[in-house]
Amino acid sequence: MRLAFIGGTGHQGFGLALRLAAAGHHVIIGSREEERAVKAAEEAEEILAEHGYEDVTVEGRENSDAAAEAEVVFLTVPFFAVIDTVKAIRDSLDEDAIVVDVTVPLETAVGGKPTRLIRPWAGSAAETVQSLVNNPVVSAFENVSAESLRDLEKEVKCDVVVCSDHEDAKRTVMELAEEIPGVRAIDGGPLENARIVESITALLISLNMRYGKEDVGIRFTNL
Ligand SMILES: NC(=O)c1ccc[n+]([C@@H]2O[C@H](COP(=O)([O-])OP(=O)(O)OC[C@H]3O[C@@H](n4cnc5c(N)ncnc54)[C@H](OP(=O)(O)O)[C@@H]3O)[C@@H](O)[C@H]2O)c1
């Protein structure tokens, strides 16, 4: 599939781009500045080549151009930037494109703590995004750490809860998630459940800080 990572120059988008390029997808890293995107794409290709993925192509484009070319568009920008970012790219989206919201409304968006959330008016970051586009929005990957995504030597040992009101889009994103070694995709139900999933990230950040870790994740049992 053709996958775009809006803000893919950052930690989370770059890690997801690496993993899904390694899985064989055509990856486009987006940035507000095309030059930054191209540089990140080159770095991704180098890292992938070092790990034996020689034939992968990662491109870099300005965010709207990246969005225009993709079947699945991942939003990986800080929450405070997500509304402006979606408004900037939404007219470029293919009408069938799936939008995957990875953003978490941490209190840092308003100068607060990363261990606390703010509550967006729509209920969650993902529902905020769905209120701005007609495309199906899927919430996923909020509970996966960028550090674990980036280290291609290791499996990403966690469950990824996927929520959406669009079943086909949800299935597509669950299949993509399971292409990342170690990841199990969980059907998290409707998009409104993103309110709960996003809040888990604040808890994981708190656990990372308390236990001196960078990659605490979640696993559900007996499921
Ligand atoms: N880091 C994690 O472990 C992690 C885990 C789960 C979820 N998340 C979520 O994923 C999202 C991205 O996290 P991150 O750690 O990757 O963030 P980041 O590295 O701080 O930022 C990602 C990218 O967003 C773009 N950006 C920054 N400010 C912007 C603005 N004002 N307007 C538009 N674009 C802007 C930048 O790209 P350009 O400057 O190239 O445009 C930047 O490289 C966040 O919502 C976060 O809560 C992160």
219 in a structural domain? no
Counting residues of the chain whose pLDDT is more than 70, the rounded percentage is 100
CATH number of the domain where residue 140 is located? 3.40.50.720
Domain-located, residue 220: no
Q: Domain tally for the chain?
A: 1
Q: Is residue 217 part of a domain?
A: no
Angle at the Cα of 182 from the Cα atoms of 11 and 45, rounded to 5 degrees? 45
Please tell me the predicted confidence (pLDDT) of residue 170. Answer: 98
Band the pLDDT of 72: cuts 50, 70, 90.
Answer: very high
pLDDT in tens, 166-215: 999 999 999 999 999 999 999 999 999 999 999 999 999 999 999 999 99
Q: Nearest C-alpha to atom 36 of ligand 1 is from which residue?
A: 7
196 within some domain: yes
124 close to ligand 1 (CB < 6 Angstrom)? no
Ligand 1 center to residue 103 CA distance, Å?
Answer: 8
- Which residues does 66 contact at the CB level (< 8 Å), separation at least 6? 4, 5, 6, 8, 28, 29, 30, 37, 59, 73
Residue 218 lies in a domain: no
Convert the pLDDT of each residue in 120-143 to its tens digit: 999 999 999 999 999 999 999 999
Nearest ligand 1 atom to the CA of 106 is 47
Using the atom order of ligand 1, give the atom closest to the CA of residue 80: 31
- Predicted local confidence at residue 97, as pLDDT: 98
Is a pLDDT exceeding 90 seen at residue 107?
yes
Evaluate whether residue 25 is within a structural domain.
yes
